[in-house]
Chains A and B, each alone.
Chain A
């Protein structure tokens, strides 16, 4: 299995290709990933590399100089003055980033506390399937009409569009129609709110901590 190589070196980097770029001699972290990609990092925040070459590319190592070249002939030339660290590690399979943990949790919490939507609401199901993907929550209001809820951490225009598509599809189902939309998010952007309200979609700001039942530490009147 291919390995990830970590090198800490005092080096100078020149890039020749669509653009030319030069990094003067300094301490850097060079990262050679198993796919052959090379990236040059400095000690500056959790940020993208100073320079890099994406795969497919090949590293030619000569004493004091690494040349990384890709198929279009672009070159990353790293002149190494002093090598301070060089190690290789096997990383194993990446389980993948669990994206939007809060969003999934919000869905779970809102389903548990469906009354947050309004009194008399009942849950139909989470992840209600439609032909274009699952709706976060399908519920019924106190009068028994269907309500589709889209949950976001940050409520932006995209989310409203997504919910609009679901609503259009759900409203074709005679057993569900008319379906009302609720756009629920921890924060809702003013543009998204305007668009949602214009489309007859109700906006609901969710308080994550309150849903989790975490009482804030500060003193309050009630």
Chain B
């Protein structure tokens, strides 16, 4: 069973057992515009909750991708480094960024579920 959660910084995180996959939301990619560059962390790096995990650059500017929860980087999506536009076309799927081994799975409890995130972005518009 997988659990999908969202942050106010427009990351999504999908828990799969003791690991979780992280990416940016459709709203985030739309706000960024054309993604032209992605910088991913090295494997084995420990990231803190709210810490910088990756960088995404659009035609206009660079933005950080923050880790919604703490953990160790166990996989990175080299496909988006090779073809950054995948982040625009499939942000919730093939456009994922990193996979973490969770340090404290309970940290996910503090994040928004999909309904709460939808309400959150509706209020931003």
The answer on A and B forming one complex is no
A residues near B, CB below 8 A?
none
B residues near A, CB below 8 A?
none
